[in-house]
Amino acid sequence: MDRSRIDAPPWAALTSRQHGLVTCHQLRHLGLTPGHVDQLLRSDRFLTIERGVYLIHGAPVTWHTRLLAACLSIDGVASHRSAAALHGIGGYRPGRPELTVGRTRDGRFVGAQVHWSTDLDRVNPQRVDQIPTTPVARTILDLGAVSSRQRVHRAIDDALLRGLTSWPELLAVYEAHRRQGRRGAGTLRAILAERFGDADGAESALELDLQRLLRHHGLDGFSTQVDIYDEDGFVMRADVAWTEEHTVVEADSLAFHLTPEAFRKDRRCRARARAAGWFLYEATAIDIRVDPAPMIDVVRGVLTDRGWRR
């Protein structure tokens, strides 16, 4: 029989998971009486690291220790830049602990930056290195309140590239918080609008800009709002299509992607259209309003290859 297991104190497993930390409440939950807890905390076995949070003697004090101690002390969740560092999002490194607490919590904390939230119960935090942490999509939304738009944009690119989040998740978290006036939502909205076009029903403006752009570059002869079918029936309604050449340009607008289900449905429909022989170019607001040359070259080349003549 392993003698070390017999002699291990009841809090050993817990502190090993929590970077050497334990709270008074957790000790009592382990079955220790209040008197035993008080006696234990007055001994040299634990050091007080934050209010109500104790570090087992000999354990190293790291950034993770400080961050988790702050979360345990005021019942918070690692968020914003601290969450980005935990998730490994590019451009963010461990720094001053940053966390979010509910509005009913005290939130006063020396040595950490604390944010208050009325919807913390909806966050569904993840455990990252045993620290309660906002999920990646919510973290990115929160970054909009403390980082520049350019820096948030780079964070999104990095998170998407590494599979940490997806456009449907970012769209869903934006939709969940945009009407609550949450700080950071405006930055995420601007980035989503840049990628998908204007939000809040303005997709027709993006489509009109697309039509004007195509005509300006001599790519006329198209039809608008064209129904596409395959052998199984209706597939999708295309924004702009050259029907004989089986070529479509879609204005990839935000309004059609405000929920993950809408995003997935749209992608399924476009996949069916491609399988039926249609070429689809998904034009973002940047393609249409900022840098159209690459899109124009691709569409012109495809149309020419498929027999289109002005």
pTM for the predicted model, two decimal places: 0.67
Token pair of 280 as six digits = 């689809």
| Residue-level pLDDT at 45 | 81
Nearest to 251 by CA among 173, 196, 172: 196
Residues 75, 51 within the same domain: no
Both 93 and 30 in one domain: the answer is no
CA distances from 102 to 24, 184, 295 (A): 21, 17, 47
- Do residues 68 and 179 share a domain? yes
Condensed to tens digits (0 to 9), the pLDDT of residues 244-297 reads 999 999 988 665 555 667 777 888 999 999 999 999 999 988 888 888 999 999
Q: Does residue 259 sit within a domain?
A: yes
Domain boundary among 167, 196, 225: 196
With respect to residue 179, please indicate whether it lies within any of the assigned structural domains: yes
72-122 residue pLDDT tens: 988 899 999 999 999 999 999 999 999 999 876 665 666 788 998 887 777
In residues, how long is the chain? 310
What Rg value do the Cα atoms of the chain yield, rounded?
A: 27
How confident is residue 184, by pLDDT bands cut at 50, 70 and 90?
A: confident
**Do 122 and 146 fall into the same domain?**
yes
* Whether residue 22 sits in one domain with residue 143: no
Closest of 204, 244, 245 to residue 225, by C-alpha: 204
- 71, 187: one domain: yes
CATH number at residue 243: 3.40.960.10
User: Do 190 and 80 fall into the same domain?
Assistant: yes
**Residues 209, 184: one domain?**
no
The domain of 89 spans 63-196
Among residues of the chain, what percentage have pLDDT more than 70? Answer: 87
Average pLDDT of the chain is: 85
- The span from the CA of 144 to the CA of 149, in Å, is 7
Half-sphere exposure of 283 (CA within 13 A, CB side): 31
Only one residue has tokens 């830049």, namely 81
Domain shared by 102 and 165, yes or no: yes
Could you tell me if 70 and 190 lie in one domain? yes
- Laid out side by side, the sheet with 131-133 consists of 113-117, 98-102, 77-78, 131-133, 126-128
Residue 270 lies in a domain: yes
Domain-located, residue 8: yes
Domain end, chosen from 196, 214, 240, is at: 196
Of the candidates 153, 176, 196, which is a domain's last residue? 196
- Say if residue 40 is in the same domain as residue 146: no
Question: CB neighbours (10 Å) of residue 113?
Answer: 17
Q: Distance between CA atoms of 125 and 173, rounded to whole angstroms?
A: 14
pLDDT tens string 207-250: 888 999 999 999 999 998 899 999 999 999 999 999 999 999 99
Give the number of domains in the chain.
Answer: 3
Compute CA distances 121 → 70, 108, 124, 244, 278, whole Å. 18, 20, 7, 54, 45
- The verdict on 188 and 88 lying in the same domain is yes
Are 149 and 192 within 8 A, CB to CB? no
- Residue 310 resides in a domain: no
